[in-house]
Structures are given as C-alpha cells and as structure tokens.
Amino acid sequence: MRTQLFLVLLLCSLVVSSSPAAVWDSAIEPIPSTEPVFTLGDQGRPAVADSKSRVHTVYHHHLGDDVFEIGYNIRQEDGIWGMVEIISGTTNALAASIAVDAEDGIHVVWEDIETSQINIQYRYRSPEGVWQGIEKLTQGKRLSSSPDIAVDSFGRVHVAWIDAAVGAPKVFYTRRDSRESAWREPEILSLDGNNPEPPTMATDGLGYVHIAWSDRVGDPDALGNYNHEIFYVELGPESDPDIQVLQLTEAFGVSREPFIEATQDGTVHLIWVDNRFFSAFEIFYRRKLPGIGWGKDKRFTYNDEQHAKPVIVAGANQTLNVAWEDFTHGNPEIYYRQITQETGWDPSPTRLTQDNSSSVRPFLVADPKGDLLLLWTDTEDNAVRKVFTRRGNALGGP
C-alpha cells in the first residue's frame, strides 16, 4: 500500500512539473514615439496580436495641457517596431481601444473631444496597412466616453461606451455586420444603471459578445459613498439580441474595474477588484462555462495591499495570464500570475517592474505561439511618462 501511494504521489509530481510556468526576459524597452510624453489609455484594450504574431498598439501623445492625439504603431514578428502613425485627425482625442479581425484588419475607437461635447469615433486599417477615413459613431452635443471594441468570429464589429445622451450616464452599444453595412442605431444596455464605469468587452469563437461593467447601486451611506457592483450582458449571434442584464457581484463593499476575456469554446473569464472585506481592494476572479453558467467568486490576492487595473488574457495551451497594479511596495508596480489547466494558479505572483516611479495601466498581449508582451506606462529618469514593454513566454520557453 505504501509503495502504491508513493507511486501515485510521484506521478502527480511529474504531472505538475510537466507544465512550466511563464518566463520573462529581463529587458525593458520603451516603444518608439514622435512625442516625448505618451501613455496608454486608462481603459479598453490598447494592444492586440494578429494571426502573424504582430502586435498593434494605440496610445496617447501628450501635446500640451489636456491636449492629446492617438498614435498607432506595429511591432513586427521579429520584435522591431515600425513608424508611428497619427490616426485621430486634428481634434483632441483620448481613450483609444483596438481590435483585430480574422483577416488581420485593425479596428480602433476613441473619444473625440470638442468644446462642450465628446463623441465616439472609429477607424479601420486594412490588412494591407491602408487606413480608411474616420467615422463618427455618435454625433452632436453629447458626452460619449470610454469606448471598447471587439470583432466576433463572423467579422461583425461591436462597440460599447458610456453615454449621457438620455440624462444619467448609461452603457450604450452598437454594431456593424460587415464593412459594407451601416452601423446599427445605438441601444442602451444598462437600463437600470445610474453611473456606470467603462465597459469591457470580448467575443468568443461561437459568435457571442460578452460585456461587463461596474455600476452604482442603492442609496449612499452616511458618508455619501455608494456601493458598486459588476453587471454582465451576453449578446447572441442572432440578428436582434435579447438583452438580459445579470448582476454578477452582490457582496459588502465595492466591486469595480472589471476586465473580461472569452475563448474559442465560449468560456468567459472575468477579473475585478473588490474591497468586500472592508480593507484594501483585492483581486477576484470568476468563470462562466458554456452550457453551465457562472461559477463562484475566487479571491487570488491576500496581502491586504491595494490592487488596481487587473487584466486577464487567454494564451497558448489554454493558459490564462493576469497582470495588475500592486501597491505592496508603496508605489504601484506591475505583478503577474498565470492559471493553467494542469496546475491551476501559480503558487505566488511574479513582480515584473522594480523602480521608484509609478508603473501603471498594465496590459497583456498573447499570441498562439506562447509569446506574451506586457505593456504599461512608466516614468524614465527624466520624469517623462512613456509606454514600456517586456517580453515573456506563457509556456516557459525562450
């Protein structure tokens, strides 16, 4: 019996050790820019990998006090960056988000800021690298902000954003079914909401669209503070989506900064920050399995320090890769953790930045080969804010 038990334990240890953890290069490099100060947006998806493992990214050029433009660049498969292109025209622009379709066409949305109004604009880049003209998704004297964009397996383009067109801010949504068709009339997703935070969006391989956001609920407490919970909508591939809003969190404290990811088989992964234990904001995770539904909340940070801006990205070999801002050392630094099918969560997180400045707004890009690219905003020695990158491999390879 002891011999059999020893063999079982030995086999289990071999299975665990056969799944290598992610590894990261030591080199940290800024991406090229035509302006001295440039940063990633505070929400949405600022980068995406295409079928050739090229990374496309959008970011903000800081031209002066509260004046910005959207820059675009592409990192080739060999790691060489191209020339910066300004894609937002001549007006003030912020909050860019990017998506790629099956043919490697690039889709970008952002806020266009004019006097007393903010509208959502869209631009398309063909697989050959030719940018089409700018299209307005909202128009007039309205406050439309914080867009996110996704392209589904049928080539349809989906956009969600915050809009105060009907009074209190709501989550709005529109889609285009093909390059030749018109954008649909925007519709409201958060009918009962009254102060939503920026939506996060992902599509799966079955044609479903998954959208989540944090919204204010209930009455304020004695100090005037409101509770926030996470809400979710799934839109099917049918022509007229049936909108059913689900509240995914219902705990004491505030749930906010959700980020959503979906995989080819229809599995949905959600990550967010939560202070339900009346202390610091910790990171929580929840999964939705196709045909089964949502599982339970799972907490995966326990150090009682502040955490912010979590992102989760599906990578090669069914890995899930998570990055976030961590305040363990006082100033925010970027930490990383991985989930695999074989071993579950990494035993402990990996610290990816180590300096005295603030490392913020992390984002991860994963390609089918296993490569990872971390992007974030940081400060160089001369106190200039720039976008930096660090390369990794989700499978533990070189």
Token pair for 127 = 């697989």
Q: What pLDDT was estimated at residue 84?
A: 94
- The candidate with the shortest Cα–Cα distance to 49, out of 125, 106, 96, is 106
- What confidence tens digit (pLDDT) does each residue in 127-139 have? 999 999 999 999 8
Q: Where residue 239 falls among pLDDT bands split at 50, 70, 90?
A: low
- Write 269-275 long-range contacts (CB < 8 A, 24+): 269/312, 269/314, 269/320, 270/212, 270/230, 270/232, 270/312, 271/310, 271/311, 271/312, 271/322, 272/214, 272/230, 272/310, 273/307, 273/308, 273/310, 274/249, 274/299
Q: Where residue 364 falls among pLDDT bands split at 50, 70, 90?
A: very high
Q: What pLDDT was estimated at residue 195?
A: 87
As a whole number, mean pLDDT of residues 266-275 equals 96
pLDDT at 337 over 80: yes
Beta carbons within 10 angstroms of residue 23's beta carbon? 15
- The candidate with the shortest Cα–Cα distance to 246, out of 229, 232, 267, 261, is 232
- Write 186-191 long-range contacts (CB < 8 A, 24+): 186/137, 186/138, 187/243, 189/160, 189/233, 189/243, 189/245, 190/215, 190/231, 190/245, 191/245
As a whole number, mean pLDDT of residues 375-380 equals 92
Q: What pLDDT was estimated at residue 306?
A: 94
- What confidence tens digit (pLDDT) does each residue in 310-333 have? 999 999 989 999 999 999 998 999
> What is each CA distance from 59 to 48, 158, 377, in whole angstroms?
12, 20, 10
User: H or E element: which one contains 239?
Assistant: none
As a whole number, mean pLDDT of residues 239-262 equals 88
Q: Which residues pair with 333 in a beta bridge?
A: 326
Q: What pLDDT was estimated at residue 12?
A: 39
Helix (H, G, I), strand (E, B) or coil at 176: strand
Q: What pLDDT was estimated at residue 139?
A: 86
198: which DSSP letter? P
Q: What pLDDT was estimated at residue 140?
A: 79
The owner of tokens 């579950």 is: 344
Helix (H, G, I), strand (E, B) or coil at 328: coil
| Averaged pLDDT of the chain | 89
- What confidence tens digit (pLDDT) does each residue in 57-116 have? 999 999 888 889 999 999 999 999 999 999 998 779 999 999 999 999 999 999 999 877
Q: Which residues pair with 213 in a beta bridge?
A: 231
As a whole number, mean pLDDT of residues 36-50 equals 93
pLDDT at 3 over 70: no
Q: What pLDDT was estimated at residue 382?
A: 66
Q: What pLDDT was estimated at residue 241?
A: 58
Q: What pLDDT was estimated at residue 397?
A: 67
Q: What pLDDT was estimated at residue 5?
A: 34
The residue with greater pLDDT, 18 or 349, is: 349
As a whole number, mean pLDDT of residues 27-44 equals 91
- What confidence tens digit (pLDDT) does each residue in 294-303 have? 999 999 888 8
The residue with greater pLDDT, 71 or 9, is: 71
- What confidence tens digit (pLDDT) does each residue in 192-230 have? 877 899 999 999 999 999 999 999 988 777 777 788 999
- The candidate with the shortest Cα–Cα distance to 210, out of 294, 143, 278, is 294
